[in-house]
Amino acid sequence: MRLSTNFTLSEFTKSQTATRKGIDNTPGEEHLANAKELFTNVVQPVRDNFGVTVINSGYRGPALNEAVGGSNNSQHCKGQAVDIECPGTANYDVAKWIEENVDFDQLILEFYTPGIPDSGWVHVSYNS
C-alpha cells in the first residue's frame, strides 16, 4: 500500500525491534489515515525537494512503542510522526527547509551536532 508517490506503508511500519521480538506493527484505520496526511503534506514534499529520503522511525504500535521505551504520548503511535534523513544533505538543512516550506505540528533536529552534517536525524510530525 502506498502512502504517497514514493513511500509505502511497509517503509513506515518497518522496525528491526518488531521483527526481532515478533511484534505486529500494523496500524489501525485512524493511524493509517494520519500517516497518509503526514506523507502527503510533509514527507513527500521533502522527497520531491531533496531526493532519496530515508525513514529511520515511523509508526509504532503500543507493543513496539513499549519495547523501544517510547513516550506514551508519542505521535509515532498515532501515525503522525516520522524520523527521516536525506543522504547527501545535512540534517540541519532538511529541518530548515521543512520549517520554511511545509505545515507541520512538531519539528525536532534530534541528536544533531553542529559541524557534523550527518549527525542525528529530523523528527517531524503532522496533525491536521
Task: Considering only residues 117 and 125, tell me which one the structure prediction assigns the higher pLDDT.
Answer: 125
- Interval 1-29: pLDDT, tens: 999 999 999 999 999 999 999 999 999 99
Predicted confidence band at 128 (pLDDT cuts at 50, 70, 90)? confident
> Which whole number is the average pLDDT over 107-124?
92
- Interval 41-79: pLDDT, tens: 999 999 999 999 999 999 999 999 999 999 999 999 999
* DSSP class per residue in the chain: -EEETTEEHHHHH--HHHHHHT------HHHHHHHHHHIIIIIHHHHHHHS--EEEE----HHHHHHTT--TT-GGGGT-EEEEE-TTS-HHHHHHHHHHHS--SEEEEET-BTTBTTSSEEEEE---
